């Protein structure tokens, strides 16, 4: 049948409209990608991010790229397939293995720790449930909080059972289930339970139940010995420049933090979590149900607000930090957005970076990275003196408040570097004093100043500042412990 002229014109106009819309959508998408790229590049330029990034929108990857160097000695760049240590992102994989065993009827979430680990002490193990371990509510002390753990213990390998008995079996800090306190011992114990029930190593169960089914070929349990192609080296980027990160035996992070992966493999992991390939919908609902402090099973679950948006965004995320690395995976499950940031030179505020990317995805205003005021002050201190450094802080804060990062953590980090690395106690005290002057409600600032006073032998001032820190933050267990020690002296 012959088309009328009007019909042909209408069809042509309709096609033109669709074409223009397609061009506009593509241009808008390219604009978002450009903004993300500029954001990460600036972070890299300021020495605040050195790693790989992946961003998915609506389940589809729109951006992936490496920044900086995976190996500084050989000048090898980071790429999307570079393998990074994940740190505590490991915990979500451990929780997946536990829930798979729950689904198989081999574990009860309300079952007791001592029911599954026969060698664990009965007096405390009979009061702690699997649920408590998964949600950091067990009350068992975290082994990474042991004084001098990283200096004196972390370089030596330990068999799982020996490490559990020696470092994960302390007396309760609080009644199980009564409060939240982030705890690496809990997830180490969950790994031990997985081995006890399956008769296989944590690594074997992980590979069989998660990595192989999902095709995560670039993920695994990290150890020092094996040759792992494309593995990034970990670095420290303190005020004195880049150094190799301190050695850590990877048998110690174990089920709490010993995995490595890539941004591309974590995209496969994210995609699988929208399916029932690994776990039923019922079990996944348990995994992503927030408990005390909005923590689920291996994930933090929060509702995020953006400017001029009535509805909140459901964010399911977890960060990680381990010698030479810090990491973040954030899933915005309502729209299937994903942000993965893997960094092999810690120093970046990955949470801020992720928030900025989220705002870009939703077309909202966002902040660009800022220069570190602490690094500028350190350089002035080394070249001149403390007086000049403090004057510079005040001048830049007044004249260039938007160009530098003046958050309290900046000065706190500088103070600790002077205190612990440079052994400049008097200078550290001045930096901590400047910090609490600028942020009089910053509890950690008083805690840091108290520690510096304690090291310098000024007991009364140490007690005064620990007490002030505890007043501002009643949950500061470190202040309680230090006050008890000082008062007994």
pLDDT tens digit sequence for 393-439:
999 999 999 999 999 999 999 999 999 888 999 999 999 999 999 99
Residue 486 scores a pLDDT above 70: yes
Least confident of 215-219, 224-228, 439-443: 224-228
pLDDT at 273: 98
pLDDT at 3: 55
pLDDT at 2: 52
Residue 26 scores a pLDDT above 90: no
Region 27-56: mean pLDDT is: 91
Highest mean pLDDT among 2-11, 26-35, 444-453: 444-453
329: exposed, middle or buried (Cβ count in 10 Å: 0-12, 13-18, 19+): buried
Region 75-88: mean pLDDT is: 98
Q: Does the model's pTM come out above 0.85?
A: yes
Phi/psi for 465 (5° steps) reads -80, -35
pLDDT at 14: 56
pLDDT tens digit sequence for 96-124:
999 999 999 999 999 999 999 999 999 99
Question: Residue 68 region, left (φ>0) first, then alpha (ψ -120 to 50), else beta?
Answer: left
Is CATH 3.40.50.720 correct for 371-488? Answer: no
pLDDT at 25: 42
Residue 181 scores a pLDDT above 80: yes
pLDDT at 20: 44
pLDDT tens digit sequence for 184-196:
999 999 999 999 9
pLDDT at 429: 96
| Domain ranges (residues) in the chain | 85-361, 371-488
pLDDT at 469: 96
Region 154-174: mean pLDDT is: 96
pLDDT at 348: 78
Region 219-240: mean pLDDT is: 93
pLDDT tens digit sequence for 134-163:
999 999 999 999 988 998 999 999 999 999
pLDDT at 309: 87
Topology annotation, domain 85-361: Beta-lactamase (3.40.710)
Provide, rounded to the nearest whole percent, the portion of the chain with pLDDT above 70. 94
More confident residue, 376 or 21: 376
- HEC-encoded secondary structure of the chain: CCCCHHHHHHHHHHHHHHHHHHHHHHHHHHHHHHHHHHHHHHHHHCCCCCEEEEEEECCEEEEEEECCEEECCCCEECCCCCEEECHHHHHHHHHHHHHHHHHCCCCCCCCEHHHHCCCCCHHHHCCCEHHHHHCCCCCCCCHHHCCCHHHHHCCCCCCHHHHHHHHCCCCCCCCCCCCCCCCHHHHHHHHHHHHHHHCCCHHHHHHHHHHHHHCCCCCEECCCCCCCCCECCCEEEECCEEEECCCCCCCCCHHHHCEEECHHHHHHHHHHCCCCCCCCHHHHHHHCCCCHHHECCCCEEEEECCCCCCCCEEEEEEEEEECCEEEEEEEECCCCEEEEEEECCCCCCHHHHHHHHHHHHCCCCCCCCCEEHHHHHHHHHHHCCHHHHHHHHHHHHHHCCCCEECCHHHHHHHHHHHHHHCCCHHHHHHHHHHHHHHCCCCHHHHHHHHHHHHHCCCHHHHHHHHHHHHHHCCCCHHHHHHHHHHHHC
Least confident of 239-248, 318-327, 328-337: 239-248
Q: Identify whether the C-beta of residue 231 lies closer than 8 Å to the C-beta of residue 185.
A: no
pLDDT tens digit sequence for 354-394:
999 999 999 999 999 999 999 999 999 999 999 999 999 99
Least confident of 260-264, 275-279, 456-460, 484-488: 484-488
Averaged pLDDT score across all residues of the chain: 93
Region 82-94: mean pLDDT is: 98
Provide, rounded to the nearest whole percent, the portion of the chain with pLDDT above 90. 85
pLDDT at 11: 59
pLDDT at 23: 42
pLDDT tens digit sequence for 432-442:
999 999 999 99
Residue 166 scores a pLDDT above 70: yes
Region 323-351: mean pLDDT is: 95
pLDDT at 37: 98
Region 474-483: mean pLDDT is: 88
pLDDT at 203: 98
């Amino acid at each position: 049948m012959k088309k009328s002229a009007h019909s042909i014109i209408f069809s042509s106009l309709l096609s033109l409209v669709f074409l223009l819309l397609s061009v506009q959508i593509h241009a808008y998408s390219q604009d978002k990608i450009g903004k993300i790229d500029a954001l990460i590049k600036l972070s890299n330029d300021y020495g605040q991010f050195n790693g790989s990034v992946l961003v998915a929108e609506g389940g589809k990857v729109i951006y992936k790229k490496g920044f900086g160097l995976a190996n500084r000695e050989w000048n090898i760049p980071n790429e999307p397939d570079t393998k990074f240590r994940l740190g505590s992102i490991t915990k979500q994989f451990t929780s997946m293995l536990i829930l798979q065993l729950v689904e198989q009827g081999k574990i009860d979430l309300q079952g007791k720790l001592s029911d599954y680990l026969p060698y664990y002490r009965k007096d405390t193990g009979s009061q702690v449930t699997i649920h408590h371990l998964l949600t950091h509510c067990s009350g068992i002390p975290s082994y990474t909080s042991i004084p001098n753990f990283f200096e004196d213990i972390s370089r030596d390998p330990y068999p799982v059972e020996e490490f559990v008995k020696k470092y994960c079996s302390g007396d309760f800090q609080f009644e199980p289930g009564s409060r939240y306190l982030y705890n690496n011992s809990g997830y180490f114990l969950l790994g031990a339970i997985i081995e006890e029930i399956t008769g296989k190593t944590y690594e074997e169960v992980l590979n069989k139940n998660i990595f192989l089914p999902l095709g995560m070929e670039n993920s695994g349990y990290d150890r020092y010995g094996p040759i792992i192609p494309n593995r990034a080296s970990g670095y420290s980027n303190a005020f004195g420049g880049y150094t190799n990160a301190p050695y850590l035996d990877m048998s110690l992070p174990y089920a709490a933090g010993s995995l490595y992966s890539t941004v591309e493999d974590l995209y496969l992991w994210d995609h699988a979590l929208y399916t029932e390939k690994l776990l039923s919908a019922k079990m996944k609902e348990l995994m992503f149900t927030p408990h005390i402090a909005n923590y689920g099973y291996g994930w933090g679950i929060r509702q995020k607000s953006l400017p001029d948006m009535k509805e909140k965004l459901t964010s399911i995320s977890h960060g990680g930090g381990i010698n030479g690395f810090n990491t973040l995976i954030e899933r915005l499950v309502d729209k299937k957005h994903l942000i993965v940031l893997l960094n092999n030179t810690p120093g970046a505020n990955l949470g801020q970076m992720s928030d900025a990317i989220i705002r870009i995805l939703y077309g909202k205003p966002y902040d660009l990275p800022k220069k570190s005021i602490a690094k500028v002050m350190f350089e002035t201190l080394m070249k001149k003196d403390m007086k000049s450094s403090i004057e510079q802080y005040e001048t830049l804060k007044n004249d260039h408040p938007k160009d530098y990062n003046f958050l309290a953590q900046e000065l706190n980090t500088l103070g600790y570097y002077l205190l612990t690395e440079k052994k400049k106690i008097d200078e550290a005290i001045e930096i901590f004093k400047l910090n609490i002057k600028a942020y009089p409600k910053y509890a950690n600032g008083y805690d840091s100043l108290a520690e510096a006073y304690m090291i310098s032998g000024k007991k009364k001032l140490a007690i005064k500042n620990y007490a002030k820190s505890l007043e501002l933050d009643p949950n500061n267990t470190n202040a309680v412990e230090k006050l008890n020690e000082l008062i007994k002296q």
